[in-house]
Amino acid sequence: MRDRFRALHEAGLFVMPNPWDIGSAKVLAAIGFQALATTSSGHAGTLGRPDQQVTRDELIAHVEELAAAAGVPISVDAERCFPGDAGGVTRTAQLLADAGAAGFSIEDYDPATRTIDPLEKAVEAVAAVAAVAAQHGLVLTARAENHLYGHNDLDNTIERLIAYREAGAEVVYAPGLRDLDQIAEVVKRAEAAVNVLLLADGPSVPELAEVGVRRVSTGGSLFRAAMGALVRGGRVLLDEGRQAYFDDAIPTAAMTQLFSFPPRAGED
């Protein structure tokens, strides 16, 4: 799985959506996506919590379940890689390897202080997990969180991404970028495989491919879309007594077929 995942980054662009549980992972794999990634906000949502409120043990159990069930490589949104837990970020990286991940990401935003980590501190963390990732063949993605938190200095973002690449990250990622020219600048200057978060008001997948982006992910948006459908359907049912959600519902037989992916030995 890890070799398959790394090979996807060698040329062209691939889309790596973010399921939030076993069922959504199996459905996305069954309809043809070649790799998947966890979503911290979606996973937290399945537990009835806001983002950044999942423990390391809960994340590792989640990764084990998805890696065993999906049949395609799984990359992990590991947030800051839990530097405050026993063994710190290196222990987290080792646990992710043991859980069957094909890759994982580390980010430079600290929710405890609501600040972006100083560059030196962030680079140190990237280098620490990069050593473990290299040992196990995991693809490491390093994230610069500036643009999610109002720090729209593109030069600083690119400086960070270059430093993370030099510290051992194979993929770099600045979620929140939506201007195609800025994304093209990141691709040009970072000199690494670039992941972009697909946004409603951002460039399309073909546009991102044109400027050399290697990977596109969806973050928590598919989970939020599913919850939006649940809320809309539930409100119509409650307020009007109608089953408006039937129009978009997948038939039971189709769900059974989707959930049978990957085929068992001996099946087509």
Q: Can you give the residue ranges of every domain in the chain?
A: 2-198+208-219
pLDDT of residue 46: 97
Instruction: Please determine, for residue 128, whether its predicted confidence score (pLDDT) is greater than 80.
Output: yes
Whether residue 264 is predicted with pLDDT greater than 90 in this model: the reply is: no
CATH topology for the 2-198+208-219 domain:
TIM Barrel (3.20.20)
Record the pTM.
0.94
d(C-alpha 252, C-alpha 3), whole Å: 35
Query: pLDDT of 38-52, one tens digit each?
Result: 999 999 999 999 999
Classify 34 as helix, strand or coil. Answer: coil
Interior angle at CA 227, CA 226 and CA 231, nearest 5: 120
Strand, coil or helix: 11: coil
Amino acid found at 37:
A
Question: What band does 266 get if pLDDT is binned at 50, 70 and 90?
Answer: very low
Whether residue 268 is predicted with pLDDT greater than 80 in this model: the reply is no
Place 263 in a pLDDT band, splitting at 50, 70 and 90: low
Asked whether the CA dihedral 20, 23, 24, 29 is positive or negative, the reply is positive
The answer, yes or no, to whether residue 265 has pLDDT greater than 60, is: no
Q: Please report, as a single letter, which amino acid is at residue 26.
A: K
Q: What is the pLDDT of residues 203-260, one digit of tens each?
A: 999 999 999 999 999 999 999 999 999 999 999 999 999 988 888 889 999 999 899 8
Look at the block and give the residue holding tokens 């889309």.
15
When pLDDT is averaged across residues 91-110 and rounded to a whole number, the result is: 98
Q: What is the pLDDT, as a whole number, of residue 267?
A: 43
